[in-house]
């Protein structure tokens, strides 16, 4: 593993993607910054972090045997690794809100942005961006956000958290292959926020409906049992969970 530490950068994902194009980058290169100026989140959103209080880093990982239609496996393996690391640091009530928000006590403390590069029917490599709210205590206008410090009352050593997460992420991604899919999916579903509970969802058209989360499909769509008893599949852009 090679770690590149930057005092500041726009986005560690963007930086790493540039680097992959310009150089022959060793597998498992990590780019970390203390100060991310223009963090990117899912669905074109931004990701805010405070200098020296949060973790923002991205991992370059090559794959040999991850089929495109099973690429959600990478996302599941990474979210599970982060959850595992946080549980080992005694963060309370850790769960994964589909597809890959990391929650503690129903509040978001971490986010993941995975950008896959494909070749033929396989994922060639991923740039896996991880943002963790570690010691921040102030989230203006973000009522559903929290941090490890707010959830525990403890202040964390950023480097310690960084290395715990890295170790488990690399362990989970080692030799990832299709044979692991069923097992990873089962563990992911066990950790899924509000599984088997009635939740409120919102469509992009602003319509609300109730449903029970049953799990995820092979391609990572959310499986929801709606009020008429049907099991429906939703992609990320098709539905937002209100609660
Ligand atoms: C989300 O929940 O929307 C995903 C947030 C991902 C943020 C991380 S911070 C490190 C890496 N660099 C980025 O620009 N984004 C990811």
- Please give the ipTM for the structure prediction: 0.99
Please work out whether the CB of residue 98 comes within 6 Å of at least one atom of ligand 1. no
State yes or no: pLDDT of 209 exceeds 80: yes
Axis crossing angle, helix 72-88 with helix 181-190, rounded to the nearest 10: 50
Q: How many domains does the chain have?
A: 2
pLDDT for the residue 175: 80
Q: Looking at the structure, tell me whether residues 152 and 132 fall in a common domain.
A: yes
pLDDT for the residue 178: 85
Given pLDDT bands bounded at 50, 70 and 90, which one contains residue 134?
very high
**What residue owns the CA closest to ligand 1's atom 2?**
111
State yes or no: pLDDT of 156 exceeds 90: yes
Cβ count within 10 A of residue 70: 21
Q: Looking at the structure, tell me whether residues 71 and 160 fall in a common domain.
A: yes
pLDDT digits (tens, 9 = 90+) for 166-201: 999 999 999 888 889 999 999 999 999 999 999 999
pLDDT for the residue 99: 95
Q: Looking at the structure, tell me whether residues 180 and 211 fall in a common domain.
A: no
Last residue of a domain, one of 151, 170, 190: 190
Ligand 1 atom with the shortest distance to the CA of 108: 2
Instruction: Round the average pLDDT of the chain to a whole number and report it.
Output: 96
Q: Looking at the structure, tell me whether residues 111 and 154 fall in a common domain.
A: yes
Identify each DSSP E strand in the chain by its residue range: 2-6, 29-33, 39-40, 46-47, 54-62, 94-97, 101-104, 107-119, 122-133, 198-202, 208-216, 222-226, 231-234, 240-241
Q: How far is CA 112 from the centre of its chain?
A: 3
State yes or no: pLDDT of 114 exceeds 80: yes
Q: What is the pTM of this model?
A: 0.97
Q: Say which CATH number the domain at 181 has.
A: 3.30.930.10
Distance 76 CA to ligand 1 centre (A): 16
Which of 30, 31, 41 is the best mutation target for the ligand 1 pocket, counting ligand atoms within 8 Å of the beta carbon and taking the most? Answer: 41
State yes or no: pLDDT of 164 exceeds 80: yes
Given pLDDT bands bounded at 50, 70 and 90, which one contains residue 242?
confident
Query: Does residue 109 contact residue 133 with C-beta atoms inside 8 Å?
Result: yes
Distance 13 CA to ligand 1 centre (A): 8
Please work out whether the CB of residue 71 comes within 6 Å of at least one atom of ligand 1. no
Quick one: 232 exposed, middle or buried, by C-beta within 10 A (0-12, 13-18, 19+)? middle
User: What's the domain range around 236?
Assistant: 198-241
Please work out whether the CB of residue 40 comes within 6 Å of at least one atom of ligand 1. yes
State yes or no: pLDDT of 243 exceeds 80: no
Which of 42, 47, 136, 139 is the best mutation target for the ligand 1 pocket, counting ligand atoms within 8 Å of the beta carbon and taking the most? Answer: 47
Please work out whether the CB of residue 33 comes within 6 Å of at least one atom of ligand 1. no
State yes or no: pLDDT of 152 exceeds 80: yes
Mean pLDDT of 83-104: 97
Q: Looking at the structure, tell me whether residues 34 and 154 fall in a common domain.
A: yes
Q: How far is CA 1 from the centre of its chain?
A: 20
Please work out whether the CB of residue 56 comes within 6 Å of at least one atom of ligand 1. yes
pLDDT digits (tens, 9 = 90+) for 38-81: 999 999 999 999 999 999 999 999 999 999 999 999 999 999 99
Last residue of a domain, one of 147, 170, 190: 190
């Amino acid at each position: 593993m090679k770690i590149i530490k930057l005092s500041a950068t726009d986005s560690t994902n963007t930086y790493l993607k540039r680097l992959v194009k310009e150089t022959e980058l060793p597998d498992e290169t990590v780019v970390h910054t203390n100060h991310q100026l223009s963090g990117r989140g899912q669905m074109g959103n931004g990701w805010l972090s405070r200098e020296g209080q949060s973790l923002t880093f991205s991992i370059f990982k090559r794959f040999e045997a991850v089929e495109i239609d099973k690429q959600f496996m990478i996302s599941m393996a990474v979210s599970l690794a982060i959850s595992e690391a946080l549980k080992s640091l005694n963060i309370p009530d850790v769960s994964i809100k589909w597809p890959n928000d990391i929650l503690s006590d129903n509040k978001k403390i971490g986010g993941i942005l995975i950008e896959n590069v494909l070749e033929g029917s396989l994922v060639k490599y991923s740039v896996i961006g991880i943002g963790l709210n570690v010691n921040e205590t102030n989230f203006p206008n973000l009522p559903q956000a929290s941090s490890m410090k707010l959830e525990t009352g403890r202040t964390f050593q950023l480097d310690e958290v960084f290395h715990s997460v890295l170790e488990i992420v690399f362990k989970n991604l080692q030799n990832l292959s299709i044979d692991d899919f069923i097992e990873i999916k089962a563990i992911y579903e066990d950790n899924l926020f509000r599984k088997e509970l009635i939740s409120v969802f919102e469509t992009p058209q602003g319509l609300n409906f109730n449903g029970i989360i049953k799990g995820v499909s092979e391609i990572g769509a959310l499986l929801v049992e709606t009020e008429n008893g049907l099991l429906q599949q939703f992609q990320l852009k098709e539905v937002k969970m209100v609660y």
